[in-house]
Structure 1
Amino acid sequence: MAVGTADRIAAAARTIVLDEGADRVSMRRVAAAVGITPMAIYRHFSDRDALLRAVAEQGWVELTDRWGRGEPRDNPRAELRRTLNGLLDFALEQPKLYTLLHDHRGGRSGGDFRSDESPVLNAVAAAVDEGMHRGLFAPDEVAEVALSIAALMHGLISMQHAGRLGLSDAEFRVLCGTAMTRLLHGVGA
């Protein structure tokens, strides 16, 4: 199957994002990489933001595809662990794309946290909700618990990406696991 021009444009923009970050994506650079004029991009994407949204949407697909692999989905704790490990793997393997997914306005990451637009929050909330129904987690507001979990992970990932933690990836994974265990078990005496 032939790759269309829009796909080639998005792929070139994605390469720039992966290598240098979203702020380095320009219509001129993308056009040069594809071998077209900058104006030709506008036949496929209305502006730079639309192009970055397309790159982000593909990133969300890649991230959520990671959650489709692995053990059966009959254990809410394992499902939550798989979701968070997939998020962590993605963030460590493709830090600049992860940043685009979480910082770019529009796409699936936009909207209020209760709007069902975030694949991460949706996956975490589904596992939390099932865990509450099965008595594995204490009854609580599902959306707020999911937000707490996602915010903890995103905060830690952002600090690691900024070099503020000074940890190797292996050490960082241990920190994330320990922090999540503390959150789920509480820190009370």
Structure 2
Amino acid sequence: MAPGTADRIAAEASALLRAEGEDAVSMRRVATAVGITPMAIYRHFPNREALLRAVAERGWDQLAEQWGRRARHDNPRAELRRTLNALLDFALEQPRLYALLYAVPSGQGNHSGGVDFRSDESPVLSAVVAAVDEGMHRGVFEPDDVSEVALSIVALMHGLISMHHTGQLGLSDPQFRVLCGTAMTRLLHGVGA
């Protein structure tokens, strides 16, 4: 096998996921798209679950890289809102990848195999933690457990996004953005100084 075959396999699986959803990602279909035999794919990924973990890890890496390039805002509230808007943009633009990121354990992190959201492994939580921590240091937010406040914020957003993705809210994307902004305002009023 040529070097980089595993990367090509993961890239093709990612493209299939984004275009058609998780059910479209079969070992046979990915192997055919990459130009290898269906049995050869197993030299790189022992099963479909391992392949989906690789796709999820690539997604987390891409999200972390994308957020790492953003210039930070000097106002902690504005930075937090900008971070959450970036999460919302990602979730609405790539709903299938977003769903996979939160459904498939990454194989890194805690003992159960998933990402430990209290660690620095989650680019989403890390960005929210930074904004909340800065806001608490500046007196914009009430002093509290930074990790727990950030987790509450991310959990609210993730819950709303999951409900929107499954059609439980019956809102258009623009209406959903308004709901997220309102929900976040309500939450932040609860932690505001």
Normalised to the residue count of structure 2, the TM-score between the two structures is: 0.87
In structure 2, distance between residues paired with 1:162 and 1:173: 16
- Aligned-residue offset at 1:65: 3.3
* Contact 1:125–1:143 (8 Å) recurs in 2: yes
Answer with 56-65 or 148-157: which moved more: 56-65
- Aligned-residue offset at 1:24: 3.1
SS in structure 2 at match of 1:166:
coil
1:48 aligns with 2:48: yes
- Aligned-residue offset at 1:180: 0.3
Superposed counterparts of 1:176-187, under 5 Å: 176-186=180-190
1:8-50 CA distances to partner (integer Å, 9 max, x unpaired)? 2112111221123223322111111112112211222233222
SS in structure 2 at match of 1:186:
helix
1:150 aligns with 2:154: yes
Match of 2:140 among 136, 141, 148: 136
Equivalent in the alignment of 1:161:
165
SS in structure 1 at match of 2:39:
helix
Identity of aligned residues (%): 75
Equivalent in the alignment of 1:117:
121
Code of the aligned partner of 1:96: R
Code of the aligned partner of 1:152: L
Equivalent in the alignment of 2:85:
85
- Aligned-residue offset at 1:97: 0.4
1:70-102 CA distances to partner (integer Å, 9 max, x unpaired)? 554432222211211111001001100000001
Equivalent in the alignment of 2:23:
23
Count of residue pairs the alignment pairs up: 186
SS in structure 1 at match of 2:43:
coil
Q: Which runs of 4+ in 1 moved over 6 A?
A: none
Answer with 175-184 or 100-109: which moved more: 100-109
- Aligned-residue offset at 1:107: 4.7
* Unmatched tracts of structure 2, length 5 or more: none
* Contact 2:132–2:146 (8 Å) recurs in 1: yes
